[in-house]
Structure formats: C-alpha cells, structure tokens
C-alpha cells in the first residue's frame, strides 16, 4: 500500500505527518467550536514559540486531524495570540522535509488554488522545467479548479499561467498544456 511505501521510505516526524495525512482522519467541515479553536491555537503556541525545542507531535495532530474551516480559524487566532503567522513559527521551529510538508499543508488549507499556482510557478521558474509536476497539476486540476488556479497565478506572479507555459515549453507538449490551460488571462 501507499502507506507501507511511505513508512519504508521516510522516517521521524516527517513520516508521522505523511501517515496521518494518508489516513485521512480529518474532521469533516462542520460547526466551528470557538473554544476548540482557541485551545488549538494556544496548544500550537505552547508547542512552538513558548517551548525550548518543539513539540512536533502537537503540530502533526492538529494539522492532520482538524477540519479545513477549523484550521483557518486556528491560524487567525494563532496570529492574534502570538503576533506571528503560523508559517513564521513553522519556519523557525522546524526544518527539512517536515518544515516543507507543514508549510504545504498550511498553504493548501489557506487556498488550494493559490498553493497550486505557486507549485506551477516554481515548476517552470528558472532554468529547466519540472515536467512531472507541471503535467500532474495541469492534468489533475484541468476539470476541477484550473480557472481559479489561473486567477491566483495572475494575481501572485504578475504574469499569466498561459504566458509562462508558452515561454517555458515547446512543441506538441506546449500545445497540449496550453489547451489544458484554456486561455490567456490578460
């Protein structure tokens, strides 16, 4: 199974977070309990900024099991309590693969289209293209939310996804990606 592969190929808190995400035990979006939001924001603050070292397990539990709407409120409350964005704390308190994974979770909780726009941008930015990532995102999201991803791309990167694909790819590969993209957003 995928979980067995992850367990065999990773270790530590990074492995633990991946397994929690794969198990998909996230609470369904329901009524937000403000007391629980406060409790989770305080727990994250105490597990990170207020602690010598970091209680990674607390981050893993909260990030891996709470609903998307609940986590959005937790991130707002965390900012109020700590004076820091949760991303700043993750950057200071964690490192390596776990840091990158926690940041990806936060970005996707905040906005999947914005997260995927960023993923596409960095797949094409600079020398070379991460073709695997470009194809995976373009194909998997083409009938779901690619229009929203295009809007976020334009907003965040001062160019359109269409233009970046056009300038970064060639041949039939370029034609196929531009067809998936669906149009220019000037």
Helix (H, G, I), strand (E, B) or coil at 25: coil
Contacts of 180 (CB under 8 A, 6+ apart): 138, 139, 142, 146
What's the average model confidence in pLDDT over 133-156? 96
Please determine, for residue 153, whether its predicted confidence score (pLDDT) is greater than 90: yes
Spatial distance between the Cα atoms of 3 and 82, rounded to a whole number of angstroms: 35
Phi, psi (rounded to 5 degrees) for 113: -60, -40
> Residue 6 pLDDT > 90, yes or no?
yes
Does the pLDDT value for residue 91 go beyond 90?
Answer: yes
Q: Is the pTM of this model over 0.95?
A: no
pLDDT band with cut points at 50, 70 and 90 for residue 27: confident
Correct CATH for 112-181 of 3.10.20.30, 1.10.220.10, 3.30.390.50, 1.20.120.790: 1.10.220.10
Indicate the average pLDDT of the chain. 94
Has residue 25 got a pLDDT over 90? Answer: no
CATH 1.10.220.10 domain range(s) in the chain: 2-110, 112-181
pLDDT band at 132 (very low <50, low <70, confident <90, very high): very high
pLDDT at 137: 97
Position 176 scores a pLDDT of 97
Write down the CATH superfamily of domain 2-110.
Annexin (1.10.220.10)
Give CA separation, 38 vs 14, 32, 63, 98, in Å. Answer: 26, 11, 15, 24
Query: b vs e for 41-68, b when ≥16 Cβ sit within 10 Å of the residue's Cβ?
Result: bbbbbebbbeeeebebebbbbbbbbbbe
Q: Quick one: pLDDT at residue 19?
A: 95
């Amino acid at each position: 199974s995928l979980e067995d592969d992850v367990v065999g190929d990773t270790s530590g808190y990074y492995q633990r977070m991946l397994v929690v995400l794969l198990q998909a035990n996230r609470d369904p979006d329901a009524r937000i309990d403000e007391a629980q939001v406060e409790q989770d924001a305080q727990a994250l603050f105490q597990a990170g900024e207020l602690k010598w070292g970091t209680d990674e397990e607390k981050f893993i539990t909260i990030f891996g099991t709470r609903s998307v709407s609940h986590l959005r409120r937790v991130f707002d409350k965390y900012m109020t309590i700590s004076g820091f964005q949760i991303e700043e704390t993750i950057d200071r308190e964690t490192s390596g693969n776990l840091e990158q994974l926690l940041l990806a979770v936060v970005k996707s909780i905040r906005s999947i289209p914005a997260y995927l726009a960023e993923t596409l941008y960095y797949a094409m930015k600079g020398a070379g293209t991460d073709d695997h990532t470009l194809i995976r995102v373009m194909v998997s999201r083409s009938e779901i939310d690619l229009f929203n991803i295009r809007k976020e791309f334009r907003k965040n990167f001062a160019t359109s996804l269409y233009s970046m694909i056009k300038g970064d790819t060639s041949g039939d590969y370029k034609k196929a990606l531009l067809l998936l993209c669906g149009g220019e957003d000037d």
